[in-house]
Structure 1
Amino acid sequence: MDRRRCHRSRRRFLQTAAGGLALLAGCADLGQTDDEPDRDPAQVGSNPDVNADADNDVTIGWPTADVTVVDFETAPLTAVVTGSVRTEDGLGATLDFDSPATASSPATLSGVIANHRNYEQTFDPTRLVVLNDPAASRSSGDATDTAYLVPTAEHPLAETVVPSSRDDDGRWRVDTVHGDWYPETLTLEPEQRLECEYHLLGHHERVSQPIEAGRYEFGAQDRGFAIAVWPTDAPGPDGDSQFSGTDVPALPESVDEEGAEPADLSWYHEATPETPVYLEPDQEAVTAPARIEFNLVNHSDEYLSGNPHQWRLSKLVAGEWYRIAPDITPDPLSWVAPGTVTTSTLDLYDGRPIDRDRSRTVGYLGGGRYAYSVGYSVDGETHAALFDLDAPPLAVEPEPDATVDDTGNGTAADRVVRLPNYEDARRPATVTITRVDSHSPSDADASTDTDTDTGTTDADTDTDIGIDIDAHLIPEQLPRRRFRSFRNTLPLFDDDSIDRVVLETDRGTALGWFGYEEATRTVSYKEAVFEVAGALESD
């Protein structure tokens, strides 16, 4: 290659974060009421993201070191180091590229070995990974052979200067791994720091693969380093999505305030080998119950910044996306370094969900097409992936502990539903839902803008009946906490003789969907239109 690139990526990240994220704090709870404690989330079919650090290789807070991305001159490869080592007793190691592999020198890395305590420490050097004897990788991904971190003559702890040479393809390899590279014990004075230098070299046996695309891991996954390597001119996915060529509308969270189609919505099925950042599912068609792993791959030279909890599951119905989960979105700031592949797991159920460790769990899902998106980006783009779920149509019923009473009024059949929180509510309230007329969701304005926090939509007009619709609802939304009032009322209208349902509950359940204010809105559900009025009970 005729170019050499060493990018210090932290500066761009800080500019992006300061300009667009200045300061994500607190918690956006879309369904918390003011009268009741948290309920079992499975009861209402929406599991909040209880695992704060489900994404691996993601750090909460600000980057603490520069990251250098290099392009090798001996092969069309780009590489970066991720990770660090910090022991409980205050020993630490960092590692970063200084220069790429060239015709005259292997790829060179610099490291720092440090004692962060104010007292002397003697320890086994292998605890710091980069002082293993030898420092050999465990390969993963497409990498099938071992890489070595070999101390150079400038390394202050090296007991052996290990020779290297280029093979017939011009790749650098270590000549031998024999000998003692480092001492058996190491003593560091209080707060002492040692600057070290390494070469990244391929396996000494010429029949083995040289350094190639993949991840070379040094040490354990949660305490060590990984050197990520990818094709310079083809950092994107090398497989075809089953949705290639599929056109779908923009996700609500990626539409701007004027409702314009975004230029920065990045779908996996539209990614090409030249796409540096993409969200790749391990499956694109599953049968409930199912688990899908999504890998957010950052093969760019920029940090991705954002909220690790800002994931979204949406369902496509009649050309419109409906947000399904999560209900609760805490707002920390975190970042994804260049070369990092961060994984999130989604467990899907067609009935009551089962909480899984290190997973995002969503229950009460019917079959259909869904989209999963995450909250990391360079310049505000949304990364998303489609998948199809095979499951029976969802049948929604009121909560088991809801009390339903018939109260015929002589002209129309009414029902009154009382939730357990009504009796002890500090501010009891009601939701009155009245059938207005029949309506089909497919008649709705396809350009409707959906609010990602409430699930409501800007009012559009059903031209058949001349009524402004404030929100279109689907069955998969009703079991979620923020739609609790609808779960306990709208299913009762499956009985065509019912014209009105009154829900007795607390203020949070009744008015949360309205922004905690008394209001009247119009919604559509299952080819019918309803007027919804939320109000506090008078003293």
Structure 2
Amino acid sequence: MKRRALLSSLAAGSVVALAGCNASSDAADGTTTPDESTGTTYRTTSGEPTPPETGLGDATTAVFETRDRTMSLLNGRRRLPSGLMVRAWLSATATPEHPARVTATLTNESEYDTALRLHDVPPFGPTPHGFPNRDYDDPLYLVPTDDHEFAGTTGAVARTDSGWYLDGRPDRWQPTSVELAAGETLVGEYAVVPREPGPIPTGRYAFGHADDPLTLSVWQSSRPGPTERSTFAGASPPSFEDQTPAWYHDATPEAPVFLQPSAEQVDAPAEVSFTLHNYLTEPLTGNFYDWTLYKQVGGEWYRIAPWGIPVPLTPLPPGDTHTWTLHAFDGPSVDCEDAIALGHLGGGRYAFHVNMSSESGPTHAALFDFDAPQVSVTPTDDVSVEREYRLVRASTPDDGGDRATLVVQRTDEADARLLPEQVMRPRNRGLRNTLPFFEDGIQKVRLETTDGVVDDAVRGDTGERVFRFGGDAFAAWRA
């Protein structure tokens, strides 16, 4: 079989987006030969196209000319246990002249000749196809084109007014195994088509069974946003101190990016997931660890968690999603694998905010109401106390670290306010072990504890920290 010129590298950028483009490669033609011992194993001696520079998002995207659809190829780079490298990318969008195309290479980067079975090496399996959202209806096929250099057969495609489709039955187009010499590369080019005429259903088409499979994400170009009405439609929550996010309840069907909660009204204990959808043709940048839970009280937002944020850069490619799962408890939290577990949350309105955005776009947030009793501030179990007239002396066990003293005293006035949900956070242990002891007549509490607890309580300040809690004002300082 003679291989025709293959599509090559596209313009570099944070992602590669296609809209009616079809670049050509200068790669030399090559040949493929069936292995006489099996009749199903192929080798190639040709050159290969260069994958595009996908940049930060590591995705290629195509805006169709034939349908109201945009497609993004995700997880197109994979190193196999055998040491071989798979690369796949969208190399052309769908036009009236041809369907969307995927180009893929399989390279033996080892020093040894390697034989490989292809059944679960997408897109090189005998009949590569994926299903939307793991639903086994409406498959999407990757059909070898005439420019595929080692397919046993090529499939026929046809076009109607609604776009391209597979014209015939699916077949075992590709061999079941291959042999690659050290440094050798196989190249395949595929038409991306549905089984039947008509619009391609939107969703994520997974090829293969890996935890992060090769995926084609398909969405409606003109209306990628949510279609269900939010419980909070028309609400006007206050802005955060340093962010003005795009709220989920304001998202329209035309919105290309939105943070969708799994529920907007929940009872304690509750599990709520927040999924960020990116239907731009560029990645969102930020940090998946940079989330914040706020509580709204008296027309203001109060930051509840987290205390600190790791700082890895984690882009979200076009067509991809990321989900944060919150387990919310009105009492002590229970550790939850791969989820955010927060305890001592009282009833009220909360906001979940993520610091992810496009280059010039806003961050994103979603509201939810949490039905639970109000939080009471209680000391930890290991604190001991003594009362001396208007003074309480409290202490926690000596754990071998540096000791220090925190003093908290009533004062006349303060501007900043602390909520019970904030005091009950682990990093406010010093305030948790002092504020509950301000009964009638108590003016001051001295807490003998570790140096780190005191430092957290006063926020490292050498002076006083002044705040309101409940109906009273307090000052805290290091003795």
Interval containing the TM-score (normalised by the shorter chain)? 0.7 to 0.9
In structure 2, runs of 5+ residues without a counterpart are 1-9, 18-53
Counterpart of 1:329 in 2: which secondary structure? coil
> Pick from 421, 428, 434: which aligns with 1:483?
428
Match of 1:197, SS state, is strand
Q: Counterpart of 1:10 in structure 2: which amino acid?
A: S
Q: Report what 1:424 is aligned to.
A: 400
Letter in 2 for 1:472: R
Equivalence map 1:24-423=2 (5 Å): 63=55, 67-84=59-76, 85-140=78-133, 144-167=137-160, 169-204=161-196, 210-220=199-209, 222-254=211-243, 262=244, 265-379=245-359, 381-408=362-389, 413-421=390-398
Preserved CA contact (<8 Å) 2:431 2:457: no
Look up the SS of the partner of 1:238 in the other structure: coil
Q: How far apart in 2 are the matches of 1:243 and 1:141?
A: 31
Give the secondary structure class of the aligned counterpart of 2:436.
helix
Q: Which moved more, 1:236-245 or 1:84-93?
A: 84-93
Conserved 8 A contact 2:150-2:187: no
CA distance in 1, matches of 2:271, 2:15: 37
Check whether the contact 2:268–2:329 (CA below 8 A) recurs between aligned residues: yes
Choose between structure 1 and 2 for higher RCO, CA contacts under 8 A separated by at least 6 residues.
1
CA deviation after TM superposition for structure 1 residue 155, in Å: 0.7
Q: Secondary structure at the match of 2:138?
A: coil
Aligned partners of 2:212 and 2:380: how far apart in 1? 46
Letter in 1 for 2:68: P
- CA change 1:142–1:294 in 2 (3 A) is farther
Distance 1:418 1:354, change over 3 A: same
Q: Is the 8 A contact 1:300 1:339 kept in 2?
A: yes
| 1:523 CA displacement | 0.6
TM-score after normalising by structure 1: 0.76
- 1:207-255 Cα offsets, whole Å, 9 max, x none, are xx6412222111125242111111111122122111111111112341x
Instruction: Report if the CA contact (8 A) 1:303-1:335 is conserved.
Output: yes
Q: Is the 8 A contact 2:132 2:202 kept in 1?
A: no
The alpha carbon displacement at 1:528 in A equals 0.9
Q: Matched residues in 2 for 1:499 and 1:65: separation?
A: 57
The alignment covers a number of residue pairs equal to 432
Cα deviation 1:303-329 (Å, max 9, x = unaligned): 112222111111111111111112332
Greater CA deviation, 80-89 or 317-326? 80-89
User: CA separation in 2, counterparts of 1:119 and 1:171?
Assistant: 44
- In the alignment, what sits opposite 2:33? none
Kept in 2, the 8 Å contact 1:149–1:201? The answer is yes
Contact 1:92 1:128 in 2 (8 A): no
Given candidates 460, 469, 475, the residue that maps to 1:516 is: 460
TM-score, normalised by the number of residues in structure 2 = 0.85
Counting helix residues as a fraction of each chain, which structure ranks higher? 1
Q: Give the conservation status (yes or no) of the 8 Å contact 1:143–1:212.
A: no
Is the Cα–Cα contact under 8 Å of residues 279 and 319 in structure 2 kept in the other structure? yes
The Cα shift of 1:63 comes to: 4.6
Once residues 170 and 278 of structure 2 are traced to their aligned partners in structure 1, the CA distance between those partners, rounded to angstroms, is: 36
Structure 1 residue runs of 5 or longer lacking an equivalent are 1-5, 14-61, 255-261, 438-466
Kindly report structure 1 stretches of 4+ aligned residues shifted beyond 4 Å: 6-9, 62-66, 141-144
Could you tell me which amino acid in structure 2 is paired with residue 356 of structure 1?
A: C
3-state SS of 1:103 partner: coil
Pairwise CA distance, 1:491: 1.8
Task: Give the aligned CA root-mean-square deviation in angstroms.
Answer: 2.3
In the aligned structure 2, how far is the partner of 1:180 from the partner of 1:212? 24
User: 2:208, 2:116 → 1: CA distance?
Assistant: 17
**Paired-residue identity, %:** 35
Cα displacement string for residues 457-484 of structure 1 (whole angstroms, at most 9, x for unaligned residues):
xxxxxxxxxx442x21000011212211
SS in 2 for 1:128: coil
Match for 1:234: what amino acid?
A: R
Residue identity opposite 2:100 in structure 1: A
